[in-house]
Chains A and B, each alone.
Chain A
Amino acid sequence: MALQSLDIKARSATTTPPPDVRARGAVPVAKLIDISKCIGCKACQVACMEWNDLRDEVGTNAGTYDNPRDLTAQSWTVMRFSEVEVEQDRLEWLIRKDGCMHCADPGCLKACPAPGAIVQYANGIVDFHEEHCIGCGYCITGCPFNIPRISQKDSKAYKCTLCSDRVAIGLEPACIKTCPTGALVFGTKDDMVLHAEGRIADLKERGYSHAALYDPKGVGGTHVMYVLQHGDKPELYANLPRDPSISPLVSLWKGVTKPLMSFGLGLAVFAGFFHYVTAGPKEVEEEEKTD
């Protein structure tokens, strides 16, 4: 929200080129969520609500620890609790902090028809500029992780900003600052990948032979990554998609069909001009003029 326009790399429904005057450009950043260190305390949910001044409803209990039960326009991150037995008689309680993954190839931005409602910054953060949002919900269709939510109050789409306002002035996101166990860390994407390698080595030493980093290539990699104990089974973690990709509808709309549509539009303009040239301007009847 607060990063300068000079840092914008991509902008929804915009064909003008992005600004390119900065000398060094931004370093890609990433948040690393180490599920093996997450105690599910929800302090990150609180920090998110506090920093962004959000207050969700006091809800109900639906028979699980998950609360709020799902992402909403007021809850940009939630813990998802999964009880699994990967090995017989060895229960695991996998707790995944869910929220925007900040894809390098963001489906929401691709799908968005409102100019400038979704932007991608040079550091990788994908941000919503709600003042431009028309509430169409295409970003939800475009998101392979089912993250954005439309507010009932103002019909605009909301999601985690990766605290772009904090990051812009050199602070870490609020959730990172509050995490008591160091399950959440933030830095350059390269550093986070390196940190993850250390964590994965530790997990392998403890018997999690499939421990791995979740940085899915189908969306060009993400700027929010997970360390998974069971990297071979991401779906154990409350259905984290194994191989996420942007919905074919979006690709269809913005991919193959876009030139066709442009061609169609151009054709319509050309036909109009041709009609003007051949048939001349529309004459207005005298009697209508006097009305």
Chain B
Amino acid sequence: MTNHWVDIKNTDLVLIMGGNAAEAHPCGFKWVTEAKAHRKARLIVVDPRFTRSAAMSDFYAPIRAGSDIAFLGGVINYLLGHDRIHHEYVKHYTDFSFLVKDEFAFANGLFTGYDAEKRKYDKSSWGYQIGDDGYVRVDPTLQNPRCVYQLMKAHYSRYTPEMVATICGTPKEAFLKVCAAIADTAAPDKTMTIMYALGWTQHSVGSQMIRTGAMVQLLLGNIGVAGGGMNALRGHSNIQGLTDLGLLSNLMPGYLTLPNDAEQDYAAYVGKRTLKPLRPGQLSYWQNYPRFHVSLMKAWFGDAVTADNNWGYDWLPKLDKGYDLMQMFEDMGQGKVNGYVCQGFNPLGSAPCKVKVSNSLSKLKFMVVIDPLVTETSEFWQNHGEYNDVDPAKIQTEVFRLPSTCFAEENGSLINSGRWLQWHWKAAEPPAETLSDQEIMAGIFLRVRALYQKEGGAFPDPILNVAWKYKIPSFPSPEELAREFSGKALKDVTDPKDPGRVLVKAGEQLSGFADLRDDGSTSCGCWLFAGSWSEKGNLMARRDNADPYGVGQTLNWAYAWPANRRILYNRASCDPSGKPYDPTRAIVAWDAAAGKWGGADVPDFKIDSAPQDGMNPFIMNPEGVARFFAVDAMAEGPFPEHYEPFETPLAVNPLSPKNPEVRSNPAARVFKDIWPTLGKPDAFPYVCTTYRLTEHFHFWTQHVRLDAILQPEQFVEIGEELAKEKGIKAGDHVRVKSSHGFIVAVAVVTKRLKALTIDGRKTHTVGVPIHWGFMGLTRNGYIANTLTPYVADANSQTPEFKAFLVNLEKV
């Protein structure tokens, strides 16, 4: 979230699209009801299904699963075409006026530089025109045909309301009604929040769907303001923490990135990431990359790393390719993986194409499952009748199950969607032999290290040099780890402007990431968390909800990264002179008398940079402004373009009907064997989408009796019209079949899933909730991901769970 849960109450318009907050985030949804109750906010829901969020809405518009870029592209076209944008904001705070290289072009659904063989782009043409001064060339009049505004306008001019109706199936009147409501928030004193979740991320173009939403918000000036923002609703109580701490295969803590194979040289590695300003007077905060990186290495390796050994750079793995979930199971299936440690994860249920996952797990020599629950993954080798019809005799994988504590049985912090690190305390003792995850991991680490000490090995250095200074080596406590993430001074840290002044004494906790140094004098396990446990103590444990400014930014409640800031880019809530656009919702402002920024929130800005200095609000970008043109950051192009899901009812992409290459995302990685497995509309005519229900939490609560009582048995949802066609009544059992497998479930026949007219043809949608499996207290069911294709987003490699094809029959 750029903003946070409580801040939703400040909005005038809530757009829930690509999410279903009322069902999947019922507690957070309360802030929508607050906005409705106290600001007369309106709620618009755009979704393939009439969800429980839609039930709360003032207006609902249907959309075909997987077509959101077409819809949002249509909104951009509407806003630009009707000139309903926040002019001052886009002019000053975005790249509207930036000039793009002449070589850059878009034709037939492709941007320049496409290599069909590799399914990758050469992105060298995706850049700005750089002037002699080393800065990007701009045209403040916005007349130059190469400026981002003009290019974007041309790009989205193809996304007409008619095209939206063709691709999305959204009736034109409904689409225009949504556009008009959104456009009203271009006024400086009106704002919209966008709440989205897996309904956007789990597509082969998921990252670009989110980008398109962000572009809409930027056009309206709704980023950086109270009640605005792009708000990703995280689906798991600590999944935000997972990414923050770099648990993705290409990341390190704090979104620092692992080097790739070609980056063997430390200076080049760190230089490439130390971004210099692209416009005069801009901050370009990533200039501090070396401070973050060196402090991280000091946290990991302690005294073993120095400037002389490049802070242990040689000990970092260099990626030859991505090692995401999809790649791992692909490799596993090819017999390239011996062992798999599966910690708090149930991939047999959570990964796409169950049969492929099951086959891959069968190739392992061993698997270690660390989980509080008996997951389906840990039982993948066991025959559970029709629900898991495998032959254990043919599976040689040895499975070790290590019972771990659950969140309520340990201290620690959880990071919520709003980036708040909230400390929690153990509520119960764990049962029997259960150990915490830290104890289990420490136990494994200490034994592995002893083996390396004893036997040497191919490359013992990274293991043997790990700093392991916990009081009880076999049990690093949550408090010790939290202090390590927040960071401390190894030597006295002094003020660069006044070297005699000591800011933090050696051995003390740091007060924030401004204290970090690149000379090895500071240690910090995650720069974004710096200051969360300072000399003032554990700030994550704070529970003071005082709200002195009355805009819900409770700075003494827990700790928000970065720097306890509640709303990111909040400088953009003020006009260029530093005055809030909407004084009734002011969060920061320039205080000329004090010579600094201040207000209800922690300013996301150089605190003493006066408005006349011309520094712009998006300080994490070297441009200083927000990007409509993504430069080379995205795999499939600088402007989001609609591509069909990999399993689509359409023969061609209606935006580029003549180019079969661009029916689906041309830059998405597709493993060779997968192409022939993808379902075609002749055999599988219905669009299918998977989702969660409010009564259950992923694959956990099937183990909880109370939740099992509320939703006991697997079901699928079909519209009344399709049910009638197929002779299906509510309560009948149906077989839903995709190209990858089938499930059998009870049919819920509903008015809430209506047939849409897509490209002139009636298209039905089938809905498949995910929560059942063959373990737990609910009635046994089929794993929903039996049905899903093994394809993913081109940037994040998040699987395409939300749009694929099925057929349906009564059993």
- Bits for A39-81, please: 1 = Cβ < 8 Å to B, else 0: 1111101100110000111111111110110000000000000
- Bits for B14-44, please: 1 = Cβ < 8 Å to A, else 0: 0000000011001101100100110010000
Contact of A39 with B731 in the complex, beta carbons under 8 Å: no
Q: What's the Cα separation between A37 and B57 when bound, in Å?
A: 10
Q: What's the Cα separation between A61 and B779 when bound, in Å?
A: 10
B651 within 8 A of A: no
Chain B residue nearest to A65 in the complex (CB):
B748
Q: What's the Cα separation between A61 and B54 when bound, in Å?
A: 23
Q: Which of A186-232 contact B (CB under 8 A)?
A: 202, 205-206
Interface size of B by CB at 8 A reads: 45
Contact of B52 with A93 in the complex, beta carbons under 8 Å: yes
Interface SS of chain A: loop
- Bits for B205-232, please: 1 = Cβ < 8 Å to A, else 0: 0000000000000000000000000000
Q: What's the Cα separation between A85 and B711 when bound, in Å?
A: 26
Q: What's the Cα separation between A230 and B538 when bound, in Å?
A: 51
Q: What's the Cα separation between A63 and B55 when bound, in Å?
A: 19
Q: What's the Cα separation between A169 and B629 when bound, in Å?
A: 61
Complex contacts, B29 vs chain A, CB 8 Å: 39, 180-181
Contact of B30 with A60 in the complex, beta carbons under 8 Å: no
B502 within 8 A of A: no
Q: What's the Cα separation between A182 and B27 when bound, in Å?
A: 10
Contact of A39 with B709 in the complex, beta carbons under 8 Å: no
Q: Which of B700-754 contact A (CB under 8 A)?
A: 705-715, 729-732, 746-752
B58 within 8 A of A: yes
Complex contacts, A36 vs chain B, CB 8 Å: 56
A-B pairs with CB below 8 Å: how many? 116
| Most chain A CB atoms below 10 A, which of B60, B708, B710, B715 | B710
Contacts A41-B694, A43-B26, A180-B29 given; indicate if A63 touches B732 (C-beta within 8 A): yes
B778 within 8 A of A: yes
Chain A residue nearest to B58 in the complex (CB):
A206
The residue from A45, A63, A92, A182 contacting B33, defined by CB atoms under 8 A apart? A182
Complex contacts, A65 vs chain B, CB 8 Å: 748
Complex contacts, B712 vs chain A, CB 8 Å: 58-61, 67
Complex contacts, B730 vs chain A, CB 8 Å: 62-64
Contacts A93-B50, A180-B30 given; indicate if A60 touches B713 (C-beta within 8 A): yes
Q: What's the Cα separation between A111 and B799 when bound, in Å?
A: 60
Contact of B710 with A61 in the complex, beta carbons under 8 Å: no
A160 within 8 A of B: no
The residue from B30, B58, B746 contacting A63, defined by CB atoms under 8 A apart? B746
Q: What's the Cα separation between A42 and B706 when bound, in Å?
A: 10
Complex contacts, A91 vs chain B, CB 8 Å: 50, 60, 751-752
B441 within 8 A of A: no
Contact of A92 with B747 in the complex, beta carbons under 8 Å: no
Q: What's the Cα separation between A37 and B33 when bound, in Å?
A: 7
A117 within 8 A of B: no
Q: What's the Cα separation between A59 and B53 when bound, in Å?
A: 26
Complex contacts, A243 vs chain B, CB 8 Å: none
Complex contacts, B778 vs chain A, CB 8 Å: 58
Chain A residue nearest to B707 in the complex (CB):
A46
Cβ of A166 to closest chain B Cβ, rounded Å = 19
Cβ of A284 to closest chain B Cβ, rounded Å = 62
The residue from A56, A62, A93 contacting B709, defined by CB atoms under 8 A apart? A56
Cβ of B719 to closest chain A Cβ, rounded Å = 11
Q: What's the Cα separation between A83 and B752 when bound, in Å?
A: 8
B777 within 8 A of A: yes
Q: What's the Cα separation between A85 and B52 when bound, in Å?
A: 16
Contact of B55 with A40 in the complex, beta carbons under 8 Å: yes
Q: What's the Cα separation between A63 and B746 when bound, in Å?
A: 6
A143 within 8 A of B: no
Chain B residue nearest to A62 in the complex (CB):
B731
B695 within 8 A of A: yes
A112 within 8 A of B: no
Cβ of B428 to closest chain A Cβ, rounded Å = 15
Contact of B54 with A59 in the complex, beta carbons under 8 Å: no
Q: What's the Cα separation between A205 and B65 when bound, in Å?
A: 32
Contacts A39-B26, A39-B694 given; indicate if A46 touches B52 (C-beta within 8 A): no
A139 within 8 A of B: no
Q: What's the Cα separation between A150 and B23 when bound, in Å?
A: 33
Chain B residue nearest to A37 in the complex (CB):
B33
A95 within 8 A of B: yes
Contact of A41 with B713 in the complex, beta carbons under 8 Å: no
Chain A residue nearest to B731 in the complex (CB):
A63
Chain B residue nearest to A84 in the complex (CB):
B751
Complex contacts, B705 vs chain A, CB 8 Å: 55, 58
Contacts A49-B706, A63-B731, A63-B732 given; indicate if A182 touches B30 (C-beta within 8 A): yes
Contact of A180 with B26 in the complex, beta carbons under 8 Å: yes
Complex contacts, A95 vs chain B, CB 8 Å: 52, 55
Contact of B706 with A37 in the complex, beta carbons under 8 Å: no
Chain B residue nearest to A90 in the complex (CB):
B60
Q: What's the Cα separation between A91 and B719 when bound, in Å?
A: 13
Contact of A67 with B711 in the complex, beta carbons under 8 Å: yes
Chain A residue nearest to B750 in the complex (CB):
A83
Complex contacts, B26 vs chain A, CB 8 Å: 39, 41, 43, 180-181
Q: What's the Cα separation between A58 and B780 when bound, in Å?
A: 11
Complex contacts, B713 vs chain A, CB 8 Å: 59-61
Contact of A67 with B56 in the complex, beta carbons under 8 Å: no
Q: Which of A92-142 contact B (CB under 8 A)?
A: 92-95
Q: What's the Cα separation between A41 and B53 when bound, in Å?
A: 11
Cβ of B682 to closest chain A Cβ, rounded Å = 29
Q: What's the Cα separation between A224 and B729 when bound, in Å?
A: 35
Complex contacts, B40 vs chain A, CB 8 Å: 202, 205
The residue from A37, A41, A61, A205 contacting B23, defined by CB atoms under 8 A apart? A41
Contact of B55 with A181 in the complex, beta carbons under 8 Å: no
Q: What's the Cα separation between A46 and B705 when bound, in Å?
A: 10
Complex contacts, B731 vs chain A, CB 8 Å: 61-63
Contacts A40-B694, A58-B779, A205-B40 given; indicate if A67 touches B710 (C-beta within 8 A): yes
- Bits for B762-797, please: 1 = Cβ < 8 Å to A, else 0: 000000000000000111000000000000000000
Cβ of B416 to closest chain A Cβ, rounded Å = 15
Q: Which of B669-719 contact A (CB under 8 A)?
A: 694-695, 705-715
The residue from A39, A50, A62 contacting B52, defined by CB atoms under 8 A apart? A39
Q: What's the Cα separation between A41 and B705 when bound, in Å?
A: 16
Cβ of B409 to closest chain A Cβ, rounded Å = 19
Contacts A41-B694, A58-B779, A61-B748 given; indicate if A181 touches B710 (C-beta within 8 A): no
Complex contacts, B752 vs chain A, CB 8 Å: 83, 91, 93
Contact of B37 with A39 in the complex, beta carbons under 8 Å: no
Cβ of A125 to closest chain B Cβ, rounded Å = 25
Q: What's the Cα separation between A61 and B769 when bound, in Å?
A: 13
Q: What's the Cα separation between A43 and B706 when bound, in Å?
A: 10
Complex contacts, A85 vs chain B, CB 8 Å: 751
Cβ of A202 to closest chain B Cβ, rounded Å = 7
Contacts A39-B694, A180-B27 given; indicate if A58 touches B708 (C-beta within 8 A): yes
| Most chain A CB atoms below 10 A, which of B29, B709, B752, B778 | B709
Q: What's the Cα separation between A42 and B707 when bound, in Å?
A: 9
| Most chain A CB atoms below 10 A, which of B56, B729, B747 | B56
- Bits for B384-403, please: 1 = Cβ < 8 Å to A, else 0: 00000000000000000000
Cβ of B529 to closest chain A Cβ, rounded Å = 29
Contact of A93 with B706 in the complex, beta carbons under 8 Å: no
Complex contacts, B732 vs chain A, CB 8 Å: 63
Complex contacts, B60 vs chain A, CB 8 Å: 91
Complex contacts, B750 vs chain A, CB 8 Å: 83
The 3 closest A-B pairs by CB, nearest first: A63-B730, A63-B731, A93-B55
Given contacts A46-B707, A59-B712, 7 further A-B contacts (CB under 8 A): A36-B56, A46-B710, A58-B705, A58-B778, A61-B712, A180-B27, A205-B40
14 A-B residue pairs with Cβ-Cβ distance under 8 Å, sorted by A, are A40-B694, A41-B22, A41-B52, A58-B778, A60-B746, A61-B713, A63-B748, A67-B712, A91-B751, A93-B54, A181-B26, A183-B33, A202-B40, A205-B40
Q: Which A residues contact B (CB, under 8 angstroms)?
A: 36-37, 39-43, 45-46, 49-50, 55-65, 67-68, 83, 85, 91-95, 180-183, 202, 205-206
